[in-house]
Structure 1
Amino acid sequence: MAAELKYMSGFDNEFATEDPRCPGALPEGQNNPQKCAYGLYAEQLSGSAFTAMRHENKRTWLYRIRPSVIHKPFKKIDNGLLTHDWDTVEPNPNQLRWNPFDFPKKKQDFVEGLATICGAGDPKARSGIAIYIYTCNKPMENKCLYNSDGDFLIVPQEGTLFITTEMGKMNVAPNEICVIQRGIRFSIDVKGNSRGYVLEVFSDHFVLPSLGPIGANGLANPRDFLSPVAWYEDREVREYTVISKYHGHLFSATQGHSPFDVAAWHGNYAPYKYDLSKFMVINCVAFDHADPSIFTVLTCPSLKPGVATADFVIFPPRWSVQENTFRPPYYHRNCMSEFMGLIYGNYEAKEDGFKPGGGSLHSMMTPHGPDYDCFEKASNAELGPQKIAEGTMAFMFESSFSMAVTEWANNTKVDSNYFQCWQPLKKHFNPKDSAKDDKEKKK
């Protein structure tokens, strides 16, 4: 019988939790007693160097039925559509858009359904990112995955993910996200067709962005991030498969028991989920259009202050009230790479063509912005208070890396007519008519 699903709240907290079936499983006053309660084994999972500064140090102590070292040797298995080979495809600076990715026609689980869209860098050097789409329709039965290369930020678009981790269980539905950090073993169950997006960072972990002049409150509040409580299963099986993602390849090993046998744990290195509807939007209230950084939920910093390896940014429902302002996103060229996805609804800058379950990529310095219809509509609209993005949740993976698109992504669900959405933009230039004159006429 499945355990009741429970969570602990607070981003980056030091948690201590034990399965109620094993009261006292957590040792008091030390991490590694000579003999653990209930005959458990103590095992530490480190997410940072031992000598990392205290506020950056990530580790969790697990008290488990068997240590995770009990498995047979790893052997390389088929990678499917997962790849970090960025050099076999010719570079493409064009604006790219993908129609919704198809659900699988045959049975496949989360690992089998991972397909790399784009990325950059090298997990061996702990530098870079990768972006995936996943499509699946069956559970990872007697199978788990752990990622030696980086952290996964998972964004479901269709179908709830029922995730079992070494630290406990999480249900993650569309309009929620979860992060499963490097090394944590997990298995995903689904009910029917499921689809979503994954951002992987090779270098460091996701943190909340600094608030700066915003002050103490705003954006994503730490208490709204939820981590699972301890839950274990003492289950022996003939063959349980453990998959390791290592150097961009998949390897599998077998063992005779479930890896989810942790009766208690304490630490600050644990998976977590977040409900995007809880995001406190900061927005313009006078004029102009603020940079999308004000919508950052999580960031993975680089070594250069203020520059992100990757940001996770959302565009939630909000009020638009700016005066004398072109309110949609402005036309721009950027020193960052921008991959956008749509969970549901219609993105306000491109209401046609950009669909839930699809995506777009605007590479470094490639120009982009509102399509023709959006520009004409917004340029001539009455500028009263307006609720925008109602019934919509779009997001962006933004990175300082210049990303390469995989061969599969270049030949799958690509909208070859994407460039057409800007072609009708007209020349409105008239040297005899200024914006100032137009204001005078309106008076």
Structure 2
Amino acid sequence: MNKHTANLKGLGNHHESEALEGALVKGCNSPQKVPYGLYAEQLSGSAFTSPRHINLSSWLYRIRPSVLHGEFHPVLQTDLAGTPFDLAYTPPTQMRWDPMPYPAVPRSFIEGLVTLAGNGSIEMQGGAAIHLYCATRSMHNEFFYNADGEFLIVPQEGALRFKTEFGSLDAKPGELIVIPRGIKFQVQLIAEKARGYICENFGSPFRLPELGVIGANGLANPRDFHIPSAAFEDREGNFILITKFQGQLWQAAINHSPLDVVAWHGTYAPYKYDLALFNTINTVSFDHPDPSIFTVLTSPSPVQGVANIDFVIFPPRWMVAKDTFRPPYYHRNIMSEYMGLIHGAYDAKETGFVPGGGSLHNCMSAHGPDAAAFNKAVSAALEPEYYDNTLAFMFESRQVWRLTPAAYNADFRQKDYLACWQELKSHFQAKSIA
């Protein structure tokens, strides 16, 4: 497997891979005749005139060009939604969900998608959506690409194999995989079933955050990102090409596998990352750094310093702060936070928030530790402690996450979530000095 040594800031170091020796074109990207009788095709992930450091494109040398397919027809699927999202289902109330149950009938990765929330505009290329997936069968004769945005996929249960135009990548719980906009792929189960989370990013492609005063080292290291090696299928038959376009699924007949790229080069490709390799930065004195210090990937907005979407994790780490309330402090903020749990326990919600579940705290909706976590934290001996059984994450957006009817009315939404704070009592003593 090739390594993704790009810094994911749009700088996109050039990569190349070939499945047959000599298939990769040298010099002219689109010569009069391509080796092996292949077709040259460019895939652009940014505007042609984008600045060099954020210009994303790749050249693909494939057996058949991508234009070979039938007419697209709409697919009726009620659980996948697009912008605009209806505010009617989005009160400021804090919300939490149990894991989404697996379907009673076999579902592929695409068939098992359920939209939970979203914001922004697909048309204006800003905002994002949150989907859950539950898959119980592999995709065999179906292929998919997303014309609306890129998929950041966070497996929670069950490993998956993503067969893409650029080659294959496997992703298991504890890893993430990003499939950029427009890239065709197929998802196969490695385990019996699989479940997880997806952030669909309509805005600027994800990149590594700037390190600022942290310096050259810390957080996610560029060398730990992986891209696929070229592999190809030369299959003919009766297949289906599915696309997500303007918030809706469409499908067309295609008489061959579109995963027929024999060689490729460029700056635009799928990639994966093992979250265990994240170099966590934390305090060694007192108080908390802001949660932004845990950012793995960010999609910038037009406003400097304010993200369209941040992907933030809370991994195993040492807690050593002195004279400090160690769980996340009670807070309200302008960013809107959807949190998921991959495995273990979250220190601010040790009960009720389970792996595969999620919580939503929108803009200025107060949140923080439940009563049990508060009582434990204020009475704990502040010795160095290693949090080793935990991996939580946040999709954090500058825009409110607007719920879908499916999320608001879900049987697995915890209708009693607010009860977790109701045992917080006043400890105020007018004459007491803490």
Match of 1:184 in 2: 183
The DSSP-based 3-state class of the residue aligned with 1:217 is coil
The DSSP-based 3-state class of the residue aligned with 1:327 is coil
**Contact 1:150 / 1:204 at 8 angstroms: preserved in 2?**
no
**Contact 2:41 / 2:61 at 8 angstroms: preserved in 1?**
yes
Question: How far is the alpha carbon of 1:91 from its aligned partner?
Answer: 2.8
CA distance in 2, matches of 1:36, 1:421: 64
Match of 2:9 in 1: none
CA distance in 2, matches of 1:244, 1:193: 23
Q: 1:37 aligns with which of 19, 35, 60?
A: 35
Match of 1:244 in 2: 243
Q: Does 1:109 align with 2:113?
A: no
Q: Does 1:7 align with 2:2?
A: yes
TM-score, normalised with respect to structure 1:
0.95
Q: What is the CA deviation profile of residues 359-418 of structure 1, one whole-angstrom value per residue up to 9, with x for unaligned ones? A: 000011000000111111111111111112x12110000000112111111111111111
**Contact 1:8 / 1:229 at 8 angstroms: preserved in 2?**
no
Instruction: Give runs of aligned pairs for residues 22-421 of structure 1, distance below 5 A.
Output: 22-84=20-82, 85-87=84-86, 89-190=88-189, 191-237=191-237, 239-388=238-387, 390-412=388-410, 413-421=412-420
C-alpha root-mean-square deviation of aligned residues, in Å?
0.9
CA distance in 2, matches of 1:255, 1:214: 50
Letter in 1 for 2:239: Y
Question: How far is the alpha carbon of 1:30 from its aligned partner?
Answer: 1.4
Letter in 2 for 1:198: I
CA distance in 2, matches of 1:288, 1:107: 48
Letter in 2 for 1:228: P
Q: What is the CA deviation profile of residues 64-83 of structure 1, one whole-angstrom value per residue up to 9, with x for unaligned ones? A: 00000001111111123001
Question: How far is the alpha carbon of 1:125 from its aligned partner?
Answer: 1.6
More deviation in 88-97 or 293-302? Answer: 88-97
**Contact 2:87 / 2:403 at 8 angstroms: preserved in 1?**
no
Question: How far is the alpha carbon of 1:140 from its aligned partner?
Answer: 1.2
Letter in 2 for 1:36: V
Question: How far is the alpha carbon of 1:426 from its aligned partner?
Answer: 1.0
Question: How far is the alpha carbon of 1:142 from its aligned partner?
Answer: 1.1
The DSSP-based 3-state class of the residue aligned with 1:344 is strand
**Contact 2:3 / 2:224 at 8 angstroms: preserved in 1?**
no
Q: How many residues align?
A: 426
Match of 2:422 in 1: 423
Letter in 2 for 1:392: T
CA pair 287-264 structure 1, distance change in 2 beyond 3 A: same
Letter in 2 for 1:241: I
Name stretches of at least 5 consecutive residues in structure 1 with no aligned partner.
1-5, 436-443
Letter in 1 for 2:32: Q
**Contact 2:89 / 2:408 at 8 angstroms: preserved in 1?**
no
CA distance in 1, matches of 2:89, 2:284: 44
CA distance in 1, matches of 2:97, 2:418: 12
Q: What is the CA deviation profile of residues 71-111 of structure 1, one whole-angstrom value per residue up to 9, with x for unaligned ones? A: 11111111230012512734311000001110111101011
Q: What is the CA deviation profile of residues 250-295 of structure 1, one whole-angstrom value per residue up to 9, with x for unaligned ones? A: 1001111000100000001000000000000000100001111010
CA distance in 1, matches of 2:383, 2:183: 49
TM-score, normalised with respect to structure 2:
0.97
Name stretches of at least 5 consecutive residues in structure 2 with no aligned partner.
7-11
Question: How far is the alpha carbon of 1:185 from its aligned partner?
Answer: 0.3
Q: What is the CA deviation profile of residues 155-177 of structure 1, one whole-angstrom value per residue up to 9, with x for unaligned ones? A: 00000011100000000000000
The DSSP-based 3-state class of the residue aligned with 1:45 is strand
More deviation in 136-145 or 59-68? Answer: 136-145
Q: Percent sequence identity over matched residues?
A: 53
CA distance in 2, matches of 1:179, 1:9: 12
Question: How far is the alpha carbon of 1:430 from its aligned partner?
Answer: 1.1
Letter in 1 for 2:365: T
Letter in 2 for 1:195: R
Letter in 2 for 1:230: A
CA distance in 1, matches of 2:357, 2:90: 21
Letter in 2 for 1:372: A
**Contact 1:40 / 1:65 at 8 angstroms: preserved in 2?**
yes
Question: How far is the alpha carbon of 1:17 from its aligned partner?
Answer: 0.6
More deviation in 88-97 or 30-39? Answer: 88-97
Letter in 1 for 2:72: F
Letter in 1 for 2:21: P
**Contact 1:8 / 1:226 at 8 angstroms: preserved in 2?**
yes
Letter in 1 for 2:230: A
**Contact 1:47 / 1:58 at 8 angstroms: preserved in 2?**
yes
